[in-house]
Amino acid sequence: MVLSPVNGLYGRVDLPSDKSIAHRTMLLAALGDGTSRIVGYPKSADPQSTLACIRQLGIRVDEESEGTLVVHGRGMHGFSTPSEPLDCGNSGTTMRLLAGLLAGQGVAATMIGDASLSSRPMRRILDPLARMGAKISATDGHAPLVIEGGHPLSGMTYTLPMASAQVKSCVLLAGLYADGETTVVEPVATRDHTERMLGVNAVAVGTARHLTVRGGTTLGVRTWRVPRDFSAAAFFLVAGSIVPEGEIRMPQVGLNPTRAALLDVLRAMGADIRVEDEREVGGEPIADLVALPAKLHGVRIDGATVANLIDEIPVLAVAMACAEGVSEVRDAHELRVKETDRIAAVADNLRAMGADIETFDDGFRIVGGKPLVGAPQQARHDHRIAMAAGIASLVAEGETVLDDPAVAAVSFPAFWDTLSTLRV
Protein backbone atom coordinates (compact mmCIF):
# COMPACT_ATOMS: atom_id res chain seq x y z
CA MET A 1 0.00 0.00 0.00
CA VAL A 2 1.27 3.43 -0.94
CA LEU A 3 0.48 6.12 1.62
CA SER A 4 0.89 9.87 1.37
CA PRO A 5 0.81 12.77 3.83
CA VAL A 6 -2.31 14.83 4.61
CA ASN A 7 -3.08 18.44 5.41
CA GLY A 8 -5.88 17.54 7.72
CA LEU A 9 -8.17 14.84 9.07
CA TYR A 10 -11.83 15.67 9.73
CA GLY A 11 -14.78 13.54 10.71
CA ARG A 12 -16.22 10.86 12.90
CA VAL A 13 -14.69 7.44 13.49
CA ASP A 14 -16.85 4.46 14.41
CA LEU A 15 -14.32 2.34 16.20
CA PRO A 16 -14.54 -1.45 16.47
CA SER A 17 -15.73 -2.94 19.75
CA ASP A 18 -13.16 -3.65 22.41
CA LYS A 19 -11.14 -6.73 21.57
CA SER A 20 -10.09 -7.58 25.13
CA ILE A 21 -13.61 -7.28 26.50
CA ALA A 22 -15.14 -9.16 23.56
CA HIS A 23 -13.00 -12.28 24.11
CA ARG A 24 -14.07 -12.36 27.73
CA THR A 25 -17.78 -11.88 27.03
CA MET A 26 -17.69 -14.88 24.68
CA LEU A 27 -15.87 -17.10 27.16
CA LEU A 28 -18.09 -16.17 30.11
CA ALA A 29 -21.31 -16.39 28.07
CA ALA A 30 -20.30 -19.93 27.04
CA LEU A 31 -20.04 -20.87 30.75
CA GLY A 32 -23.46 -19.46 31.66
CA ASP A 33 -26.30 -21.88 32.19
CA GLY A 34 -28.51 -20.66 29.33
CA THR A 35 -28.78 -17.92 26.76
CA SER A 36 -26.65 -14.76 26.92
CA ARG A 37 -26.48 -11.94 24.40
CA ILE A 38 -23.40 -10.01 23.35
CA VAL A 39 -24.19 -6.65 21.79
CA GLY A 40 -21.35 -5.31 19.66
CA TYR A 41 -19.24 -8.40 19.09
CA PRO A 42 -16.45 -7.30 16.72
CA LYS A 43 -15.71 -8.73 13.28
CA SER A 44 -11.98 -8.38 13.98
CA ALA A 45 -9.98 -11.57 13.43
CA ASP A 46 -8.91 -12.09 17.06
CA PRO A 47 -12.38 -12.14 18.65
CA GLN A 48 -13.54 -14.22 15.69
CA SER A 49 -10.86 -16.79 16.65
CA THR A 50 -12.38 -17.00 20.12
CA LEU A 51 -15.86 -17.39 18.62
CA ALA A 52 -14.69 -20.18 16.30
CA CYS A 53 -13.00 -22.06 19.18
CA ILE A 54 -16.10 -21.76 21.36
CA ARG A 55 -18.23 -23.21 18.56
CA GLN A 56 -15.75 -26.06 18.14
CA LEU A 57 -16.24 -26.81 21.85
CA GLY A 58 -19.91 -27.47 21.21
CA ILE A 59 -21.42 -24.12 22.20
CA ARG A 60 -24.08 -22.84 19.81
CA VAL A 61 -23.70 -19.17 18.91
CA ASP A 62 -26.19 -17.44 16.58
CA GLU A 63 -25.98 -13.99 15.05
CA GLU A 64 -29.31 -12.39 15.95
CA SER A 65 -28.61 -9.15 14.10
CA GLU A 66 -25.51 -7.30 12.88
CA GLY A 67 -23.01 -7.55 15.75
CA THR A 68 -25.41 -9.10 18.27
CA LEU A 69 -24.63 -12.71 19.14
CA VAL A 70 -26.78 -15.11 21.08
CA VAL A 71 -24.64 -17.59 23.02
CA HIS A 72 -26.33 -20.78 24.23
CA GLY A 73 -24.15 -21.40 27.27
CA ARG A 74 -23.96 -24.94 28.61
CA GLY A 75 -22.82 -24.21 32.14
CA MET A 76 -19.42 -24.47 33.79
CA HIS A 77 -18.73 -27.98 32.47
CA GLY A 78 -20.42 -27.72 29.08
CA PHE A 79 -17.45 -27.92 26.68
CA SER A 80 -17.33 -31.06 24.56
CA THR A 81 -14.05 -32.59 23.42
CA PRO A 82 -13.15 -30.98 20.09
CA SER A 83 -12.45 -33.32 17.20
CA GLU A 84 -9.95 -30.94 15.57
CA PRO A 85 -7.24 -28.66 17.02
CA LEU A 86 -8.56 -25.32 18.27
CA ASP A 87 -7.09 -22.65 16.00
CA CYS A 88 -6.38 -19.46 17.96
CA GLY A 89 -5.03 -17.69 14.87
CA ASN A 90 -3.00 -14.64 15.89
CA SER A 91 -4.71 -14.25 19.25
CA GLY A 92 -2.69 -14.61 22.45
CA THR A 93 -5.77 -13.79 24.52
CA THR A 94 -7.73 -16.67 22.95
CA MET A 95 -4.97 -19.19 23.60
CA ARG A 96 -4.04 -18.11 27.11
CA LEU A 97 -7.52 -17.56 28.54
CA LEU A 98 -9.10 -20.58 26.89
CA ALA A 99 -6.24 -22.81 28.10
CA GLY A 100 -7.28 -21.95 31.68
CA LEU A 101 -10.88 -22.97 31.00
CA LEU A 102 -9.96 -26.18 29.18
CA ALA A 103 -7.62 -27.19 32.01
CA GLY A 104 -10.38 -26.35 34.51
CA GLN A 105 -13.03 -28.38 32.70
CA GLY A 106 -10.56 -31.23 32.16
CA VAL A 107 -11.27 -31.28 28.43
CA ALA A 108 -8.60 -32.82 26.19
CA ALA A 109 -7.74 -30.43 23.37
CA THR A 110 -4.90 -29.23 21.18
CA MET A 111 -4.49 -25.49 20.69
CA ILE A 112 -2.65 -24.12 17.68
CA GLY A 113 -1.90 -20.65 16.34
CA ASP A 114 -0.31 -18.85 13.41
CA ALA A 115 3.46 -18.38 13.08
CA SER A 116 3.46 -15.30 15.32
CA LEU A 117 1.41 -16.90 18.10
CA SER A 118 3.46 -20.11 17.85
CA SER A 119 6.59 -18.12 18.64
CA ARG A 120 5.14 -16.37 21.71
CA PRO A 121 5.97 -17.57 25.24
CA MET A 122 3.45 -19.97 26.78
CA ARG A 123 5.44 -21.08 29.86
CA ARG A 124 3.91 -18.09 31.59
CA ILE A 125 0.59 -19.99 31.62
CA LEU A 126 1.93 -23.56 31.55
CA ASP A 127 3.83 -23.10 34.83
CA PRO A 128 0.92 -21.84 36.95
CA LEU A 129 -1.54 -24.30 35.38
CA ALA A 130 0.91 -27.18 36.08
CA ARG A 131 1.14 -26.03 39.70
CA MET A 132 -2.63 -26.32 39.91
CA GLY A 133 -2.47 -29.90 38.56
CA ALA A 134 -3.04 -29.50 34.81
CA LYS A 135 -1.11 -31.64 32.35
CA ILE A 136 -0.27 -29.64 29.25
CA SER A 137 2.57 -30.29 26.86
CA ALA A 138 4.15 -27.78 24.52
CA THR A 139 7.19 -27.59 22.28
CA ASP A 140 9.91 -25.75 24.12
CA GLY A 141 7.32 -23.57 25.85
CA HIS A 142 5.45 -22.77 22.64
CA ALA A 143 2.22 -23.78 20.92
CA PRO A 144 0.86 -26.23 19.91
CA LEU A 145 -0.44 -26.81 23.43
CA VAL A 146 -1.73 -30.31 24.08
CA ILE A 147 -4.06 -30.41 27.06
CA GLU A 148 -4.73 -33.78 28.67
CA GLY A 149 -8.25 -34.25 29.92
CA GLY A 150 -9.35 -35.31 33.35
CA HIS A 151 -6.85 -33.78 35.78
CA PRO A 152 -8.59 -31.97 38.64
CA LEU A 153 -7.08 -28.66 39.72
CA SER A 154 -6.21 -27.39 43.20
CA GLY A 155 -6.36 -23.75 44.27
CA MET A 156 -3.15 -21.86 44.95
CA THR A 157 -1.72 -18.42 45.54
CA TYR A 158 0.18 -17.21 42.53
CA THR A 159 2.26 -14.05 42.24
CA LEU A 160 2.46 -12.89 38.63
CA PRO A 161 6.10 -12.81 37.52
CA MET A 162 5.29 -10.32 34.73
CA ALA A 163 2.59 -7.68 34.21
CA SER A 164 0.18 -9.76 32.13
CA ALA A 165 -3.60 -9.62 32.14
CA GLN A 166 -3.66 -12.75 30.01
CA VAL A 167 -1.78 -14.78 32.62
CA LYS A 168 -3.84 -13.29 35.43
CA SER A 169 -7.05 -14.14 33.58
CA CYS A 170 -5.90 -17.66 32.70
CA VAL A 171 -5.23 -18.46 36.37
CA LEU A 172 -8.46 -16.85 37.59
CA LEU A 173 -10.55 -18.75 35.02
CA ALA A 174 -8.84 -22.04 35.95
CA GLY A 175 -9.44 -21.13 39.60
CA LEU A 176 -13.21 -21.21 39.00
CA TYR A 177 -12.79 -24.99 38.76
CA ALA A 178 -10.09 -25.60 41.37
CA ASP A 179 -10.49 -27.21 44.75
CA GLY A 180 -10.57 -24.33 47.28
CA GLU A 181 -9.46 -20.77 46.66
CA THR A 182 -7.13 -19.42 44.02
CA THR A 183 -5.50 -16.06 44.66
CA VAL A 184 -3.60 -14.13 42.01
CA VAL A 185 -1.22 -11.51 43.40
CA GLU A 186 -0.63 -8.74 40.93
CA PRO A 187 2.35 -6.54 41.84
CA VAL A 188 1.64 -4.20 38.89
CA ALA A 189 -2.01 -3.56 37.98
CA THR A 190 -2.99 -4.71 34.48
CA ARG A 191 -6.29 -4.44 32.61
CA ASP A 192 -9.02 -5.53 35.00
CA HIS A 193 -11.83 -6.67 32.67
CA THR A 194 -11.82 -10.29 33.86
CA GLU A 195 -12.23 -9.43 37.53
CA ARG A 196 -14.85 -6.78 36.75
CA MET A 197 -16.84 -9.29 34.73
CA LEU A 198 -16.52 -12.02 37.37
CA GLY A 199 -17.45 -9.54 40.10
CA VAL A 200 -14.18 -10.17 41.96
CA ASN A 201 -12.99 -7.24 44.06
CA ALA A 202 -9.27 -6.62 44.32
CA VAL A 203 -7.85 -6.41 47.84
CA ALA A 204 -4.97 -3.95 48.09
CA VAL A 205 -2.02 -5.35 50.04
CA GLY A 206 0.68 -2.70 50.01
CA THR A 207 1.02 -1.77 46.37
CA ALA A 208 -0.12 -5.22 45.14
CA ARG A 209 -3.64 -6.32 44.20
CA HIS A 210 -4.90 -9.69 45.46
CA LEU A 211 -7.71 -11.35 43.48
CA THR A 212 -9.44 -14.43 44.82
CA VAL A 213 -11.87 -16.82 43.15
CA ARG A 214 -13.44 -19.99 44.58
CA GLY A 215 -13.83 -23.33 42.84
CA GLY A 216 -17.43 -24.30 42.19
CA THR A 217 -18.49 -20.76 41.24
CA THR A 218 -21.31 -20.67 38.69
CA LEU A 219 -21.99 -17.87 36.23
CA GLY A 220 -25.35 -16.40 35.35
CA VAL A 221 -26.69 -15.49 31.94
CA ARG A 222 -26.82 -11.87 30.92
CA THR A 223 -26.58 -9.33 28.14
CA TRP A 224 -23.06 -8.01 27.60
CA ARG A 225 -22.53 -4.69 25.86
CA VAL A 226 -19.03 -4.24 24.46
CA PRO A 227 -17.74 -0.64 24.39
CA ARG A 228 -15.65 0.67 21.52
CA ASP A 229 -11.96 -0.09 21.74
CA PHE A 230 -9.69 2.52 23.32
CA SER A 231 -6.72 0.69 21.80
CA ALA A 232 -8.21 1.36 18.35
CA ALA A 233 -8.98 4.97 19.31
CA ALA A 234 -5.28 5.41 20.13
CA PHE A 235 -4.36 5.55 16.43
CA PHE A 236 -6.79 8.39 15.80
CA LEU A 237 -5.92 10.23 19.01
CA VAL A 238 -2.33 10.39 17.79
CA ALA A 239 -3.34 11.08 14.17
CA GLY A 240 -5.63 13.94 15.20
CA SER A 241 -2.87 15.41 17.36
CA ILE A 242 0.00 15.35 14.86
CA VAL A 243 -1.66 16.47 11.61
CA PRO A 244 -1.65 20.21 10.80
CA GLU A 245 -5.47 20.62 10.76
CA GLY A 246 -8.58 18.72 11.67
CA GLU A 247 -11.02 17.40 14.22
CA ILE A 248 -11.61 13.70 14.76
CA ARG A 249 -14.61 12.62 16.81
CA MET A 250 -14.81 9.14 18.33
CA PRO A 251 -18.11 8.24 20.03
CA GLN A 252 -18.57 5.71 22.85
CA VAL A 253 -14.98 4.79 23.58
CA GLY A 254 -14.13 2.57 26.56
CA LEU A 255 -12.11 4.51 29.15
CA ASN A 256 -11.32 1.84 31.70
CA PRO A 257 -8.47 3.36 33.77
CA THR A 258 -6.34 0.20 33.35
CA ARG A 259 -6.46 0.79 29.59
CA ALA A 260 -6.59 4.52 29.01
CA ALA A 261 -3.25 5.78 30.32
CA LEU A 262 -2.38 6.98 26.81
CA LEU A 263 -4.94 9.75 27.23
CA ASP A 264 -3.08 11.25 30.19
CA VAL A 265 0.31 10.75 28.53
CA LEU A 266 -0.78 12.47 25.30
CA ARG A 267 -2.24 15.33 27.32
CA ALA A 268 1.00 15.59 29.31
CA MET A 269 2.71 15.93 25.90
CA GLY A 270 0.43 18.87 25.09
CA ALA A 271 -2.29 17.09 23.12
CA ASP A 272 -5.72 18.72 22.82
CA ILE A 273 -8.06 15.81 23.46
CA ARG A 274 -11.58 16.46 24.72
CA VAL A 275 -13.49 13.91 26.76
CA GLU A 276 -17.24 14.44 26.48
CA ASP A 277 -20.34 12.86 28.00
CA GLU A 278 -18.64 10.42 30.38
CA ARG A 279 -20.97 7.56 31.32
CA GLU A 280 -20.99 3.84 32.07
CA VAL A 281 -21.98 0.91 29.84
CA GLY A 282 -21.98 -2.70 31.05
CA GLY A 283 -19.79 -1.89 34.07
CA GLU A 284 -17.16 -0.06 32.01
CA PRO A 285 -16.68 3.73 31.83
CA ILE A 286 -17.07 5.21 28.34
CA ALA A 287 -17.02 8.69 26.78
CA ASP A 288 -16.92 10.48 23.42
CA LEU A 289 -13.42 11.62 22.48
CA VAL A 290 -12.37 14.49 20.22
CA ALA A 291 -8.78 14.90 19.02
CA LEU A 292 -7.52 18.27 17.73
CA PRO A 293 -4.08 19.21 16.38
CA ALA A 294 -1.55 20.35 18.97
CA LYS A 295 2.11 21.08 19.42
CA LEU A 296 3.55 18.10 21.30
CA HIS A 297 6.61 17.91 23.50
CA GLY A 298 8.60 14.94 24.79
CA VAL A 299 7.69 12.78 27.77
CA ARG A 300 9.14 9.87 29.76
CA ILE A 301 7.03 6.87 30.73
CA ASP A 302 8.01 3.95 32.90
CA GLY A 303 6.91 1.81 35.85
CA ALA A 304 3.25 1.05 36.47
CA THR A 305 2.03 3.39 33.69
CA VAL A 306 3.50 1.12 31.03
CA ALA A 307 1.06 -1.78 31.71
CA ASN A 308 -1.86 0.60 31.20
CA LEU A 309 -0.80 1.63 27.71
CA ILE A 310 1.22 -1.39 26.61
CA ASP A 311 -0.71 -1.91 23.35
CA GLU A 312 -0.61 1.80 22.51
CA ILE A 313 3.18 2.14 22.57
CA PRO A 314 3.74 1.61 18.81
CA VAL A 315 1.54 4.60 17.97
CA LEU A 316 2.74 6.57 21.00
CA ALA A 317 6.23 6.25 19.49
CA VAL A 318 4.93 8.05 16.40
CA ALA A 319 3.66 10.91 18.60
CA MET A 320 7.06 10.97 20.32
CA ALA A 321 8.86 11.22 16.97
CA CYS A 322 6.71 14.27 16.15
CA ALA A 323 7.12 15.88 19.59
CA GLU A 324 9.78 18.49 20.31
CA GLY A 325 12.49 17.21 22.63
CA VAL A 326 13.42 13.87 24.14
CA SER A 327 10.97 11.09 24.93
CA GLU A 328 11.69 7.80 26.60
CA VAL A 329 9.79 4.55 27.25
CA ARG A 330 11.29 2.17 29.84
CA ASP A 331 10.13 -0.91 31.82
CA ALA A 332 8.40 -2.16 28.68
CA HIS A 333 10.17 -5.56 28.26
CA GLU A 334 6.80 -7.10 27.50
CA LEU A 335 6.84 -5.34 24.12
CA ARG A 336 9.50 -7.85 23.07
CA VAL A 337 6.98 -10.72 23.23
CA LYS A 338 3.91 -9.23 21.54
CA GLU A 339 2.74 -10.22 18.03
CA THR A 340 6.28 -9.27 17.05
CA ASP A 341 9.20 -7.68 18.93
CA ARG A 342 7.57 -4.25 19.00
CA ILE A 343 10.66 -2.42 20.26
CA ALA A 344 12.67 -3.57 17.25
CA ALA A 345 9.76 -3.08 14.83
CA VAL A 346 8.98 0.47 15.99
CA ALA A 347 12.64 1.46 15.91
CA ASP A 348 13.29 0.04 12.43
CA ASN A 349 10.21 1.67 10.91
CA LEU A 350 10.71 5.09 12.49
CA ARG A 351 14.44 5.07 11.78
CA ALA A 352 13.67 4.35 8.11
CA MET A 353 11.58 7.55 8.13
CA GLY A 354 14.47 9.56 9.54
CA ALA A 355 13.62 9.57 13.26
CA ASP A 356 16.38 9.60 15.86
CA ILE A 357 15.65 6.54 18.00
CA GLU A 358 17.84 4.45 20.28
CA THR A 359 16.61 1.14 21.73
CA PHE A 360 17.11 -0.55 25.09
CA ASP A 361 16.23 -3.98 26.29
CA ASP A 362 13.09 -2.54 27.89
CA GLY A 363 12.18 0.41 25.67
CA PHE A 364 13.52 3.25 23.55
CA ARG A 365 14.54 6.89 23.50
CA ILE A 366 13.50 9.26 20.74
CA VAL A 367 14.87 12.72 20.03
CA GLY A 368 11.73 14.11 18.45
CA GLY A 369 10.92 16.89 16.07
CA LYS A 370 12.98 15.79 13.05
CA PRO A 371 10.89 15.89 9.88
CA LEU A 372 9.77 12.38 8.88
CA VAL A 373 10.18 11.24 5.30
CA GLY A 374 8.21 8.53 3.51
CA ALA A 375 10.00 5.17 3.46
CA PRO A 376 9.30 1.43 3.23
CA GLN A 377 7.55 0.17 6.38
CA GLN A 378 7.32 -3.41 7.54
CA ALA A 379 4.27 -4.64 9.40
CA ARG A 380 5.95 -7.87 10.56
CA HIS A 381 2.54 -9.58 10.69
CA ASP A 382 1.58 -7.24 13.55
CA HIS A 383 -1.65 -5.23 13.30
CA ARG A 384 -0.51 -2.45 15.59
CA ILE A 385 2.83 -2.04 13.83
CA ALA A 386 1.00 -1.75 10.48
CA MET A 387 -1.48 0.84 11.79
CA ALA A 388 1.25 2.85 13.58
CA ALA A 389 3.15 3.03 10.27
CA GLY A 390 -0.05 4.28 8.62
CA ILE A 391 -0.31 7.08 11.18
CA ALA A 392 3.36 8.05 10.75
CA SER A 393 2.82 8.25 6.97
CA LEU A 394 0.27 11.05 7.50
CA VAL A 395 3.08 13.44 8.43
CA ALA A 396 5.95 11.92 6.41
CA GLU A 397 6.99 13.86 3.34
CA GLY A 398 6.63 11.87 0.11
CA GLU A 399 5.45 8.30 -0.26
CA THR A 400 5.40 5.58 2.38
CA VAL A 401 5.07 1.98 1.23
CA LEU A 402 3.61 -0.47 3.75
CA ASP A 403 4.12 -4.15 2.96
CA ASP A 404 1.10 -5.75 4.68
CA PRO A 405 -1.79 -3.41 5.44
CA ALA A 406 -4.30 -6.30 5.59
CA VAL A 407 -2.94 -7.42 8.97
CA ALA A 408 -4.84 -4.49 10.55
CA ALA A 409 -7.93 -6.75 10.38
CA VAL A 410 -6.70 -8.58 13.48
CA SER A 411 -8.18 -5.77 15.57
CA PHE A 412 -9.55 -3.12 13.16
CA PRO A 413 -10.82 -4.39 9.78
CA ALA A 414 -12.06 -0.95 8.65
CA PHE A 415 -8.88 0.92 9.65
CA TRP A 416 -7.65 1.92 6.18
CA ASP A 417 -11.12 2.82 4.86
CA THR A 418 -11.77 4.90 7.97
CA LEU A 419 -8.48 6.71 7.60
CA SER A 420 -9.16 7.54 3.97
CA THR A 421 -12.63 8.98 4.71
CA LEU A 422 -11.04 11.50 7.13
CA ARG A 423 -8.46 12.86 4.70
CA VAL A 424 -8.74 16.31 3.17
Quick check: 166 binds ligand S3P (CB under 6 A)?
yes
Helix (H, G, I), strand (E, B) or coil at 238: helix
Q: What is the DSSP string of 371-410?
A: PPB--EE--TT-HHHHHHHHHHHTTSBS-EEES-GGGGGG
The Cα 253–Cα 230 span in angstroms is: 6
Stretch in the footprint of ligand S3P (CB under 6 A) among 161-169, 238-246, 258-266, 267-275: 161-169
Least distance from ligand S3P to the Cβ atom of residue 20, Å: 3
Least distance from ligand S3P to the Cβ atom of residue 159, Å: 15
What's the DSSP call for residue 17?
B
- Out of 165, 184, 242, 396, the only residue in the binding site for ligand S3P (CB under 6 A) is 165
- Out of 310, 329, 372, 391, the only residue in the binding site for ligand S3P (CB under 6 A) is 310
- Out of 3, 13, 20, 69, the only residue in the binding site for ligand S3P (CB under 6 A) is 20
Quick check: 164 binds ligand S3P (CB under 6 A)?
yes
Binding positions for ligand S3P, 27-86, rule CB under 6 A: none
The Cα 6–Cα 65 span in angstroms is: 37
178 vs 310 by CB, closer to ligand S3P: 310
186 vs 311 by CB, closer to ligand S3P: 311
Alpha-helix residue ranges (DSSP H) falling in 5-73: 19-31, 45-56
Q: What are phi and psi of 134, to 5 degrees?
A: -75, 150
129 vs 352 by CB, closer to ligand S3P: 129
Quick check: 228 binds ligand S3P (CB under 6 A)?
no
Check if the beta carbon of residue 339 is closer than 8 Å to that of residue 411: no
Beta strands across the sheet bearing 86-87: 86-87, 109-112, 142-147, 136-139
The distance from CA 283 to its chain's CA centroid, rounded to whole angstroms, is 18
The Cα 403–Cα 67 span in angstroms is: 30
- Out of 18, 114, 195, 334, the only residue in the binding site for ligand S3P (CB under 6 A) is 334
Least distance from ligand S3P to the Cβ atom of residue 165, Å: 4
Stretch in the footprint of ligand S3P (CB under 6 A) among 9-17, 129-137, 165-173, 292-300: 165-173
Stretch in the footprint of ligand S3P (CB under 6 A) among 70-78, 158-166, 239-247, 272-280: 158-166
241 vs 308 by CB, closer to ligand S3P: 308
108 vs 202 by CB, closer to ligand S3P: 202
What's the DSSP call for residue 185?
E
Least distance from ligand S3P to the Cβ atom of residue 34, Å: 25
Binding positions for ligand S3P, 180-209, rule CB under 6 A: 191
87 vs 229 by CB, closer to ligand S3P: 229
Least distance from ligand S3P to the Cβ atom of residue 12, Å: 25
The Cα 180–Cα 187 span in angstroms is: 23
114 vs 311 by CB, closer to ligand S3P: 311
Helix (H) or strand (E) holding 209: strand 208-214
- Out of 311, 312, 341, 382, the only residue in the binding site for ligand S3P (CB under 6 A) is 311
Count Cα neighbours of 402 within 13 Å in the Cβ-side half-sphere: 29
What's the DSSP call for residue 149?
S
Report strand pairing: 272-281 vs 109-112.
Answer: unpaired
Active site residues: 311
Dihedral over Cα of 173, 409, 387, 395: its sign: negative
- Count residues near ligand S3P (CB under 6 A): 11
Alpha-helix residue ranges (DSSP H) falling in 34-91: 45-56
Stretch in the footprint of ligand S3P (CB under 6 A) among 55-63, 98-106, 162-170, 273-281: 162-170
The Cα 424–Cα 416 span in angstroms is: 15
Would you tell me which residues interact with ligand S3P (CB under 6 A)? 20, 92-93, 164-166, 169, 191, 310-311, 334
